[in-house]
Structure 1
Amino acid sequence: MATPSTSSRRRGLLLGTASGRDAIRRIAVAVTLLALVTAVGTVGYVALGFGVLDAMYQTVTTVATVGFREVRPLDDTGQVFTMVLIVLGVGTVLYNLGVLLEGVTEGHLREHLRRRRMDRDIARLRDHVIVCGYGRVGRSATRQLVDTGHAVVVVDSDASRLEGVTEPHVLGDAARDETLLEAGIEHARALICALASDAETMYATLSARALRPDLVIISRARTVDSKDKLVLAGATRAVNPQLIGGRRMASFALYADVAEFLDEVMHEDDLDFRIEQVRLGDHSPLAGRTVGEADIPGLCGAQLLAVRLPRKGAFLPTPSPGTALAPGATLIVFGSPEQVGVLRSAAGT
């Protein structure tokens, strides 16, 4: 069951969205009414004997009440028609001005145009990462992804959390298909789900897996018991931050140099070398060869640390020269971005 704060955030989201759409709808109605009054006035003056251009000119000057002279003298019928047109036209113009002023001052029109631009930016993204939930874990994940040069789309149902976010973002429920599609899940490379509760994270994980069976989904588990349930729901991996934090603290206590080295090569932006993963494509010239024949250090200069067998198979640390490299296998290497780039080209990815 949703908490009162969650329910109020959702109501605020729905009201804000409805208000923006209602403002755009009112502007469309106002412009349509103005066009209709102009058309009726033009047709009426044509029926009174005016030419088409003269009829349109007379209509516009009448509706705008600018006080120019009449194009031609009017009989009694023409005067009555003009008076009716003035009443209808002035009312329509005032309504247009009021609606436009309201849309601009309340920010609905500006927000609508900004949202349209952001939607176009998201639609052009490819291989980005979707971060669902912009709490402490979501913000930390977003910062790390952006710092390492990856495109990110943030999803959250709380508008206050998205204030000041510079990355593309979507305001909505991450468990809804339309929200995930708006975030570009069809072209994403991965999704990180860190919502307020395990239940919300599980629903969002189920929705994402249904839309993209091949997507990498990393879900945050608030309890150790929920990790297995999230994997069953479709998460590629379920992560418990408290458990990982405790293990890292123990690692720093027992193996400080090893832990610090791994921290630097995985997270330090200024370091020239990193640990990276490279997947062998089906048509890679390295596929079907052995580790010795591939000679990764001679090919690109990077060091081969391990090989993971295809389809998320077992890891083979420090593989022997006779280890076969099958298509779909993943190479875990240590090297510079340039070296890894050469290997990716040879791997066909």
Structure 2
Amino acid sequence: MNESFSPRRVGYAVAGVMVVVLGGMVGFHQTVREDWFQSFYRSVVTVSLAGLDTVPRSTGARIVSILLVLAGLTIFAYVATILVEGIAGGVLTGVLAERRRRRAIERLSGHIIICGYGRVGQRVAAEFRESGEEYVVLDFNPDALEAAREGGVLFVEGTGTEDEDLVEAGLNRARGLVASSDSDADNLYITLSARAARPDLLIVARASDEDAARKLRLAGADRVVQPYSTAGKEMAKLVLRPQVAAFLDIVSTHGGPELRFEEIEVGRTENAGESIRGLRIREVTGAMIVALRKHDGTFDTTPTPDAVLAAGDVIIAAGTPDELRRLEELFPPGEAVA
């Protein structure tokens, strides 16, 4: 809690007001000879700087009035100091920051929601950040929220198991969701809630074992990742097939930014229906098509130069950022494919 608004300082202000009001009540009772309630009323009016009820006739009462006015000014100055220090310390600005963060989230569209900002969630966020993807973090753990706050990440304090929190994170406008909580049960609830609200949403979930992975798929997850299983396979691959592992490391973002994989959808453009050879993709763009996902859902893992790129197909290509950009220019976004 900010020191400016500590209970001790607030207590000092309240105690000061009480002492001054009671002292003024006694002073007026002795000098003006009024009853206790009237003396209390006159003291409150004077200390609050609202003005004098009537001008005191005796010198003693006037002295008491002057002292009460000065005391009231001192107390108001003290309270004003607390408020100013609170603003400078971020107590009130924290409310403004919260409002700005919510407005920024409300403006997002086509973003990704990360439910769970632990080690896995933070690694996912780092990958999104490097790729320029917009995302929102949803978590309730104080350490996770502090990490998001320090990193300047848009976040919602809550849990993905509550529909209201998902809506606040922009579920209706999101294009994907990552359920990366440490709890399989939470990830299952998150997946069920998100799938019920958005049947078309891409959902990637984390699972600790195969049984949890099976249940997550039944709940509606499009992809399920088992970190421990994946890590074990990767370590074995490094030992059994080190050159293959080295190549995959090179073409990943971890190995270097100059060679990447990208997926590009073939829309209803003038180049749709042409073959790879006919478009001279390798010569024109420099990128290499390594696989094709046909519009019927099947994969062509070794496309030949005569393979036809039909509308609705998804090209899996490898190349540098410039080469992939030139490939995307051959298939600009057109009319959506059913």
Q: State TM-score, norm by structure 2.
A: 0.69
The counterpart of 2:159, out of the listed 173, 176, 181, is 173
For 1:38-117, list aligned pairs within 5 A: 65=49, 109-117=92-100
Seen in structure 2, the aligned counterparts of structure 1 residues 343 and 164 have a Cα distance that, compared at 3 Å, is same
Alpha carbons 1:147, 1:269 under 8 Å: kept: no
Looking at structure 2, the residues matched to 209 and 307 of structure 1 have their Cα atoms a distance apart, in angstroms, of 27
Deviation at 1:141, TM superposition (A): 1.2
Question: Which residue does the alignment assign to 2:288?
Answer: 303
Indicate whether 1:150 and 2:130 are aligned: no
Indicate whether 1:284 and 2:241 are aligned: no
Indicate whether 1:323 and 2:307 are aligned: yes
Seen in structure 2, the aligned counterparts of structure 1 residues 102 and 262 have a Cα distance that, compared at 3 Å, is same
1:163-191 CA-partner distances (Å, limit 9, x unpaired): 03221111101122221222222333321
Indicate whether 1:133 and 2:119 are aligned: no
Alpha carbons 1:148, 1:269 under 8 Å: kept: no
Question: Which residue does the alignment assign to 1:233?
Answer: 219
Letter in 2 for 1:286: N
Alpha carbons 1:157, 1:174 under 8 Å: kept: no
Letter in 1 for 2:210: V
Indicate the SS of the match to 1:267: coil
The counterpart of 2:323, out of the listed 339, 342, 345, is 339
Seen in structure 2, the aligned counterparts of structure 1 residues 62 and 300 have a Cα distance that, compared at 3 Å, is farther
Indicate whether 1:256 and 2:242 are aligned: yes
Looking at structure 2, the residues matched to 323 and 129 of structure 1 have their Cα atoms a distance apart, in angstroms, of 33
Looking at structure 2, the residues matched to 164 and 241 of structure 1 have their Cα atoms a distance apart, in angstroms, of 22
Percent identity, please.
Answer: 38
Deviation at 1:284, TM superposition (A): 2.6
Letter in 2 for 1:218: V
Indicate whether 1:206 and 2:189 are aligned: no
Seen in structure 2, the aligned counterparts of structure 1 residues 316 and 104 have a Cα distance that, compared at 3 Å, is same
The counterpart of 2:278, out of the listed 293, 297, 310, is 293
Alpha carbons 2:125, 2:135 under 8 Å: kept: yes
1:222-253 CA-partner distances (Å, limit 9, x unpaired): 11112122112111101111111111111111
1:83-129 CA-partner distances (Å, limit 9, x unpaired): xxxxxxx9xx98xx699689859965333211111112222233332
Looking at structure 1, the residues matched to 104 and 259 of structure 2 have their Cα atoms a distance apart, in angstroms, of 32
Looking at structure 1, the residues matched to 220 and 246 of structure 2 have their Cα atoms a distance apart, in angstroms, of 33
Letter in 2 for 1:318: T
Letter in 2 for 1:162: L
Indicate the SS of the match to 2:210: coil
- After superposition, the CA RMSD in angstroms is 3.4
Letter in 2 for 1:112: V
Deviation at 1:270, TM superposition (A): 4.3
Looking at structure 2, the residues matched to 137 and 285 of structure 1 have their Cα atoms a distance apart, in angstroms, of 42
Q: State TM-score, norm by structure 1.
A: 0.67
Looking at structure 2, the residues matched to 272 and 341 of structure 1 have their Cα atoms a distance apart, in angstroms, of 13
Indicate whether 1:188 and 2:163 are aligned: no
Indicate whether 1:271 and 2:254 are aligned: no
Q: Select the structure of larger CA radius of gyration.
A: 2
Q: May I ask how many residue pairs the two structures share in their alignment?
A: 269
Question: Which residue does the alignment assign to 2:142?
Answer: 159
Indicate the SS of the match to 2:309: coil
Alpha carbons 2:264, 2:316 under 8 Å: kept: yes
Specify every segment of 5 or more residues in structure 1 that has no aligned partner in the other structure, as ranges: 1-15, 17-60, 75-89
Deviation at 1:316, TM superposition (A): 1.0
Looking at structure 1, the residues matched to 85 and 158 of structure 2 have their Cα atoms a distance apart, in angstroms, of 25
Indicate the SS of the match to 1:286: coil
Seen in structure 2, the aligned counterparts of structure 1 residues 265 and 230 have a Cα distance that, compared at 3 Å, is same
Indicate the SS of the match to 1:127: coil
Letter in 2 for 1:322: D
Looking at structure 1, the residues matched to 328 and 47 of structure 2 have their Cα atoms a distance apart, in angstroms, of 68
